[in-house]
Amino acid sequence: MIGAQWGDEGKGKITDLLSKSADVVVRYQGGVNAGHTVVVDGQTFKLHLIPSGILYPDTECVIGSGTVIDPGSLIQELDTLERLNVSTEKLYISETAHVTMPYHRLIDQASEEKRGSKKIGTTKRGIGPTYADKSERTGIRVVDLMDYDALREQLEWTIQYKNGILEKLYGLDPLDPKAVLDEYIQYAERLRPHVIDSSLHVYKAIQQRQNVLFEGAQGTLLDLDHGTYPYVTSSNPVAGGACIGAGIGPTVVDRVIGVAKAYTTRVGEGPFPTELHCDVGSLLCERGAEFGTTTGRQRRCGWFDAVIGRYAVRINGLDCLAITKLDVLDDVDEIKVCVAYDLDGETRKELPGSARQFARCQPVYETLPGWNTSTSDCRSLDDLPKQALDYLKFLAELMKVPIAIVSLGASRDQTIIVEDPIHGPKRALLQEGNSQKSPSRVG
């Protein structure tokens, strides 16, 4: 299950919803820069590293090797859940996941500030520098964290090297290697009971014909290789990234579910063709509570962009969509949908690869009537106003993929299940949607 926009699509709620039918939920990329919000019985849970399936006591949750783990933040998350009487006994952590260290956070913060007007808009949580060390083969993994001597030897050289960068490039104070070692050894002891060979664990679950749900963080347009570079994250949120980040082969994946808002939002820097700088944009922000779970930053809001929607369908091989926050549009008189871009006088229906070209794209809109009535209590398609149903059908037609779930609020029960993506179809909103795989297969 992946985000089909720039992240913040409401994946936490959809993962929580699907986790009821899942035996194992696997988070396969990203770090504490992710934020998933789940509301159950009026209680709000904010998750960053731990998969959203944690709220089901019988569901196993795995943090895969493709993630980067800030152990201090993870322990805070564990403590918060346990205070709320949520069991974390079935949380497992990959021994080969990389660890975010104090110097990663410091370098991330200093680097972003040094960029000035060229800043990317990172969360400053050290995610990029952690992945950079992973690629440079100087990173520290969870398995190293579990070995005092190995960690001490690695930190002796690494912190000396990183201190040179902190002092000479950024003018910051150096880190004390012993203080860092002592801090992280304490983390290791707390996390040790959860550390496993996660790839083997997931493989065994698949061999036993269990339902395994792979949970992506961020969104397709933030993918390092396929997103709107350079305004992207440092990992691969797209569906293909699940295989690498979880340590499984592509042939075991039965279904790919995309999550998209009924409009579009974006956090941080970068081009945003359908962004609204008007009262409607403010309305979407206010009604949608568009503030980041991780940073609290206000999200930029705009109309639904079918160009990036079609791109997400293609890049991920989406079988179906979950459309969230339809209720946010309840009081909008007219709703616009971007169906193409105007790039220097030429109509483009595909996303340009050049960031400079993308910045010049102007949206080509089609306008649909609003419904001006509340949808938050709707629990079936028949309950929806005709204009709301027509809007959903229009989106499905544009992207040539069926809509399986419609979310109309933050709570679990504020949802219309058109078709169960895990246990097979009941009734597809777009029957002629181009699903790449047989919908009768288990998700």
148-197: pLDDT as tens digits: 999 999 999 999 999 999 999 999 999 999 999 999 999 999 999 999 99
Whole-angstrom distance, CA of residue 287 vs CA of residue 111: 34
383 belongs to the catalytic site = no
Residue 231 confidence (pLDDT)? 93
Which ranges of 290-402 would DSSP assign to H, the alpha helix? Answer: 306-316, 355-360, 386-399
Identify the helix (H) or strand (E) that includes residue 105: helix 102-115
Q: State pLDDT tens for residues 335-360.
A: 999 999 999 999 999 999 999 999 99
Question: Does residue 439 carry a pLDDT above 50?
Answer: no
Nearest to 108 by CA among 51, 48, 31: 31
Q: State pLDDT tens for residues 90-145.
A: 999 999 999 999 999 999 999 888 887 777 777 888 999 999 999 999 999 999 99
Q: Which residues contact 36 (CB under 8 A, 6 or more apart)?
A: 11, 12, 15, 46, 47, 48, 52, 217, 293
Q: Kindly report the backbone phi and psi dihedral angles of residue 52, in degrees, each rounded to the nearest multiple of 5, phi listed first.
A: -65, -15
Question: Does residue 24 carry a pLDDT above 80?
Answer: yes
The model's pTM is: 0.90
Q: What is the mean pLDDT of residues 228-240?
A: 95
By the 10 Å C-beta count (0-12 exposed, 13-18 middle, 19+ buried), 210 is classed as middle
Candidate list 16, 23, 36, 144, residue with the active-site label = 36
* Cα 154 from chain centre: 31
Candidate list 8, 70, 133, 144, residue with the active-site label = 8
Residue 433 confidence (pLDDT)? 42
Q: State pLDDT tens for residues 296-333.
A: 779 999 999 999 999 999 999 999 999 999 999 999 99
8 belongs to the catalytic site = yes
Q: State pLDDT tens for residues 252-288.
A: 999 999 999 999 999 888 999 999 999 999 999 999 9
Mean pLDDT estimate for the chain: 91
